[in-house]
Amino acid sequence: MERASSDNDAIACHGLTKAYGAREARTRALAGVDLVIARGEVAMIMGPSGCGKTTLLSLIAGLLDADEGQCRVCGEVAAKLSAADRARFRRRRLGFVFQAFNLLPALTAAQNVAVTPILNGMPRREAEALAVEALDRVGLGDCATRLPGQLSGGQQQRVAIARAIVHRPPVILCDEPTSALDHDAGQQVMTVLTGRARDLGAALVVVTHDPRIAHFADRIVRMEDGRIVADGAALVAA
C-alpha cells in the first residue's frame, strides 16, 4: 500500500515510470512506482538484479529523469531545475555512495572527502579537517593521506561513505554500500551510516542485496520487475 505523503517527508515519489532503449529494444525499468520516505527513516530497497532498484535511486538523486511521474526530494523536484541548480542541489542536500566509489585517483582520501564541502564554499583547511573526522568515523583516520590506488576495495568504499556524510546532508543514498566489505566492516559502516542519519534526522535509503544488514532498516521495500511488491518494517529479505 502506498504511504501517504506529509510535511515530514524527505522523499515523495509518485507514479514513476522509466524505460531504456527504443521500439523493440525498449526495456521497462520502472512501472508506476510510489515511494514516500520520512525524515530520519532508514529504508532498504531489495530485490533481484535488474528489478529497477538502482534506477529508482538515480531518479531520487536527480541523476535521471522519469518518463512519467514525479519525485520530490527535500521539497524540490530535480526535473524542474536547471542543470546548474540540480548539481548545486545534489551537492548541498544529498549524500551519495556509488557502487563504483567514483573516487578521484589523483586526490588523497581526505581530499576526496573534502571535495563536496569545498564546492559548497567551505575553506579548504576547514573542509579537510572535517574530512579527516569523517574518515575517522568509518575507521580510516590513519589513511587520510593515501591515494585511492593505495587502498583496498573495502577501504575505498569507506572513503566513499565518509564523503557522503561529511556535509551533513538531509538525504543519504547508498548503492550497495557493503558489497566490498566483510561482515565486521559492513556492520561498522552501517552503524556509522544509520547513526549519522539519525543524528541528523536524515533519510537514509540503501539499495542492497546483503541480508546481513537488513536489521539496520526501519523499513524494507522489495522490488520485482520495476514495481514495489512489498513494503513494511517486519519484512525479512530473502
List, for residues 3-25, the tens digit of each pLDDT value: 555 567 999 999 999 999 887 77
pLDDT in tens, 37-88: 999 999 999 999 889 999 999 999 999 999 999 999 999 998 899 999 999 9
CATH superfamily of 9-232: P-loop containing nucleotide triphosphate hydrolases (3.40.50.300)
Q: How confident is the model at residue 5, as a pLDDT?
A: 53
When comparing pLDDT for 37 and 189, which is higher? 37
Predicted confidence (pLDDT) per residue in 170-187, tens digit: 999 999 888 878 888 888
Angular region, 174: left φ>0, alpha ψ -120 to 50, beta rest: beta
- Above 90 in pLDDT, residue 115? yes
* Amino acid 23: pLDDT: 77
Per-residue pLDDT at 191 exceeds 60: yes
Alpha-helix runs per DSSP H in the chain: 53-61, 83-93, 109-119, 124-137, 153-165, 183-200
Q: Distance (Å, rounded) from C-alpha 29 to C-alpha 209?
A: 18
- Kindly list the strands in the beta sheet with 94-97, ordered across the sheet, starting from the edge strand earlier in the chain: 94-97, 171-175, 203-207, 42-46, 219-224, 227-232
Segment 114-130 shows an average pLDDT of 95
User: CA nearest 10: which of 209, 228, 200, 237?
Assistant: 200
pLDDT of residue 52: 94
Provide the residue type at 122 as one letter: M
CB–CB of 152/179 below 8 Å? no
- Band the pLDDT of 206: cuts 50, 70, 90: very high
Give the pLDDT score at 139. 87
pTM: 0.88
Domain ranges for the chain: 9-232
Question: Helices 109-119 and 153-165: crossing angle, nearest 10°?
Answer: 20
Q: What is the pLDDT of residue 157?
A: 86
Q: How far apart are CA 15 and CA 165, in angstroms?
A: 29
